[in-house]
A and B are shown apart, each in its own frame.
Chain A
Amino acid sequence: MLYVSSLLRIKLSRWDGLALFVVITGLTLLIWGSREMTVPFTGTEPLPLSLDPIHLPYYALRTTLRMFFALFLSLLFSFVYASIAAKNKKAELILVPLLDILQSVPILGFLSITVTGFMVLFPGSLLGVECASVFAIFTSQAWNMTFSLYQSFISIPKELTEVASLYQLSPWRRYWRLEVPYAIPQLLWNMMMSVSGGWFFVVASEAITVSGHTILLPGIGSYIALASQQESIQAIFYAILTMLLVILLYDQLLFKPLLAWSDKFKAELTAHEQLPSSWVLTMIRRAKLFQILNIVWFWLMGGLDKVLQGLSLHISKLEKDHEQIYKLINKILTFSFFLFILFVFIFYGVQAYAYIFFEIPFEEVQHVCFLALMTLIRVVTLCAFASLIWVPIGVMVGLNGPLASRLQPWVQFMAAFPANLFFPIVVIVIIKYHLVPDIWLSPLMILGTQWYILFNVIGGASSIPFDFQEVTTNFHVKGWLRWKKLYLPGIAPAYITGLITAAGGSWNASIVAEYVSWGNQTIEAAGVGAYIAAATAAGDKPRILLGVVVLSCFVLILNRIFWRPLYLYTTTRYRLD
């Protein structure tokens, strides 16, 4: 009460002015932008789109909103999915491998397959296409976040769960007081990584091809697509600049404050020397507006908590009193769930099989496998090249502490920057000098994901204890021997993590990187990505499906037989503690 009365004697600070401005602007943009997503649309007429840079802020807003909705959906999905997977041992058996499979499906493949479905869902409205785009972005983020959340849920320290049991926290409280807080830091980190990967797909998924013709959703990605079509280099630079600003704003307004806030959830019990700070969080904590909102929020949540706490206790009691019935219900539910999954798999499996093999001769299937092999060779070569360049640089930077901490945010930023914005520039060069696309289109695949290698190597190198360096200096270990004995083993786990991310990203990028156009010219490299892209452009569904299935299988198998064992090996063999 004292709190509210002191608030009534309002004495505004500069934080209040800022807060008011931020909130009102944010709300207006959100509502306006969202309304524009549902304008009527029949699927054939082109949407008004202009290369005039004056429209760019609006396009940026649309792109940002798509990202925002996708992020929200991903969060929702990961909480539901990860909770079920972590709590139900039987469901876990299916859900975790399923997630593994989903993770290996190329994101733009989802887009090509689902867009018609979404359009049917919302006839006569743009919402269908918007949903397809948001869904593609969602698929680029959700699996990762879900895995992180699931991992956190199953690795909660035993003592903490014992405390929760000992003091009889209801399942509801246990979830919100123990499980979710414990998972937050890791989830947030994954969310940041997912979003930075997501920008690539926002841009790529705005120009959607449906049965042969392209729908350009208002957004930066479409702006770029239009610019390539009209061969306007100037417009491309405008787009790059806008994207830069958008990512900076996203970081400042969303992730910096979240990161600063989440610091208290870190389970390690040592205080950090340097606490992350954010002006937005300071604003939220200081401004009266947010304090009032905070009180309202806590009041609402307190009410909700009370109701659900009661409910949760009630259910626990029922569960205990009617253990037999509860077990029976549980069994029936699990059984029907398994049956459902089985049905879905068989039904769609048979359908997809029939779909592909009735339309496509077996020789072509073999050919697609060959194309996938080509893409594989590209991915491997590029990863090797990127490593050759970035590993030495990353180690040098990482060993120089101050330089590393100054450069790291920029590298992170580069990773977030959608590399497909640069594609047209490379394409111009290729066309102008008549370069072989099979070779020169390849670097596009790793343009955006190479930063993960650099980023992780810097991180790995800066965590090599100084003692080790002193020892090698002391024994006059120099040159190559020093690299072999100290630096390479020292960065191995981090480097492999970066390499896995980079390789995964390259597979995903192949769909846009192997098949590009400038003006009327389309150039393509031989690869499964180009195959999918070409099939999408032609609206040839069976071939899209075939390409996606082959690509997914390749990624899945590679993960199983190569990356996972390698990762396990390096993390156990070269761990520094």
Chain B
Amino acid sequence: MAQDLLTLNDISKWYGTSPKTTLVLDHIQLSVRENEFVVILGKSGCGKSTLLRIIAGLIKPNEGGVLYQGKEFTSLSPRIAMVFQSHALFPWLNVLENVELGLEALDLTPHQCRRRALEAIDLIGLDGYESAYPKELSGGMRQRVGFARALVVNPDILLLDEPFSALDVLTADNIRNDLMELWIEKRIPTKAIIMVSHNVMEAVELANRLVILGHEPGRIVKEIDVPLMYPRDETSRHFSQLVDNVYTTLMIPTELPSSLKKGAVAKTIIGMDYRLPAVSIHKLQGLMDALLETPYHGKADIFALAESENLSAKDSLPLFETLELLEFAHISKGDIELTNSGKALCKADILERKKVFAYHLMRHIPLAKHIYHVLQDLPRQRAPKERFMKEQEQLMPSEEAHRNLSIIIDWGRYAELFAYNTQSDILSLENPQVEELEQPS
């Protein structure tokens, strides 16, 4: 049995002074063994990138520590290298110099540096581009340089921070395959790879083990072993079952473990501190319309629906989450089904739709209801955004508070619940009579 290469010992991370309001990572316990390819999956904002940076030593956790082969290491280590989503190449250094940069800390002679850098460039298939500058290269080539810079140090652990998400599908596939070849054929001395991703397909294709992070705060919801042989067949039944499984896990709200129980309707009651998913209403309606039409007629496998609508997990998860939050649909066992009001919404005309939407917003999103009531109680029925911002900041870091408010403002504007003036940052009641909203049949 392979020994533990890396152990994350009860890691917690929060921003600011108190772990109560701004907890990002909550008691993460994870071991990575030799020859493992671990993929950390989660919705955006669940702290997975933070976790990766803690492993890399770039960020210090507030609690807990990272053990390497059972020993604590505090400083950055050349045993660990990282590939960044945005390449993070230095534009003023050419390919060779960029790769050599990785060797800075290794105390090599210039000659050794050059030799190793050239080997790494060779390995990743960048031969002939040594003297090219990053801006002369395509996105895929740049990411290859990123890989070369990481591999040149012969890291024991390779960290990948969504390295393929900024690339087009074909290029990403190409680089993925090359990487897997190096990894499976053991042409690189790397002992373990840890990747962060939000692409379920990619994760299931690459990983030995999937670690699914829930959010608010980030904690490990589930670990799934993937026992399939490489190269994996995406069309196999086993594969798609796994994908389904992962999707379902990602969809389960973390607040209520009880909803894991087999119940027809998992109703989630959310509070004012709920981090709203950032989705555009129009996308949401597009998805609902697609769900209502053939071939689904109101009920679909979430993975198949996402696939047919060309949505990545990053895009589709917030959409599904919103549908469930607003009770336009219910999700269970990897299936999504429109509720009656969801169906009604789809069939309504524009004005009617807005009314239905407003009703659901008032009923299921406490923040919307709160803003509406506050505005209503004020004599001039208007209030600066600042006022709500302060309230939200009591509950979460100000960045997220800001995000949350923008989302609710966007939704509220669509629903004509309230109006918002960007220049004066003032929220006001669009139409004071909306209070007698009734559920349209």
Contact = CB atoms under 8 A, between A and B. Distances in A.
A162 B58 contact: yes
B15 interface: no
B134 A166 contact: no
Interface in B56-72: 56-58
A160 B142 contact: no
Given A165-B58, A168-B105, A173-B104, A159 B135 contact: no
B82 A166 contact: yes
Nearest to B102: A167
Contacts of B8: none
A177 interface: yes
B173 interface: no
Given A264-B133, A573-B423, A166 B76 contact: yes
Interface stretch (B86-94, B299-307, B396-404): B86-94
Contacts of B423: 573
Nearest to B103: A167
Interface residues of B, number: 30
B86 A159 contact: yes
B376 to A, nearest CB: 30
A166 B91 contact: no
Contacts of A268: 91, 135
A269 B134 contact: yes
A575 B133 CA distance: 31
A163 B101 contact: yes
A265 B92 contact: yes
B121 interface: no
B88 A167 contact: no
B102 A270 contact: no
B135 A178 contact: no
A87 interface: no
A304 interface: no
A8 interface: no
Contacts of A267: 91
Nearest to A184: B92
Contacts of B140: none
Contacts of A4: none
A266 interface: yes
A181 B58 contact: no
Contacts of B149: 163
Nearest to A266: B91
A169 interface: yes
Contacts of A178: 90
In this complex, which of A159, A181, A184 has the most chain B Cβ atoms within 10 angstroms of its Cβ? A159
Contact of A269 (B53, B91, B93, B101): B91
A181 B78 CA distance: 25
Contact of B90 (A170, A177, A271, A573): A177
Contacts of A167: 78, 101-105, 153
B183 interface: no
A271 B92 CA distance: 13
B113 to A, nearest CB: 12
B154 to A, nearest CB: 13
Given A168-B76, A264-B133, A271-B136, A159 B88 contact: yes
A270 B133 CA distance: 11
B88 A160 contact: yes
Interface in B25-79: 53, 56-58, 76, 78
Given A264-B133, A269-B134, A271-B136, A160 B76 contact: no
In this complex, which of B82, B86, B135 has the most chain A Cβ atoms within 10 angstroms of its Cβ? B135
A264 B101 CA distance: 17
Contacts of B142: 269
Nearest to B423: A573
B81 interface: yes
A518 B93 CA distance: 56
Given A159-B86, A166-B56, A166-B82, A265 B91 contact: yes
B14 interface: no
B84 interface: yes
A166 B58 contact: yes
A184 B91 CA distance: 12
Nearest to A169: B104
A24 B276 CA distance: 69
Contacts of B134: 269
Interface in A163-190: 163, 165-170, 173, 177-178, 181, 184
Contacts of B84: 159, 162-163
B175 to A, nearest CB: 17
24 contacts: A157-B86, A157-B88, A159-B84, A160-B90, A162-B84, A165-B58, A166-B57, A166-B76, A166-B82, A167-B78, A167-B105, A169-B101, A169-B104, A170-B104, A177-B90, A181-B92, A184-B92, A264-B91, A265-B92, A266-B135, A268-B135, A269-B87, A271-B135, A271-B136
Closest 4 CB pairs of A and B: A159-B88, A168-B105, A181-B92, A265-B92
Interface of A: 157, 159-160, 162-163, 165-170, 173, 177-178, 181, 184, 264-271, 573
Interface of B: 53, 56-58, 76, 78, 80-82, 84, 86-88, 90-93, 101-105, 133-136, 142, 149, 153, 423
Given A162-B53, A269-B134, 10 more contacts: A157-B86, A163-B149, A166-B56, A166-B76, A167-B78, A167-B101, A170-B104, A181-B90, A266-B91, A268-B135
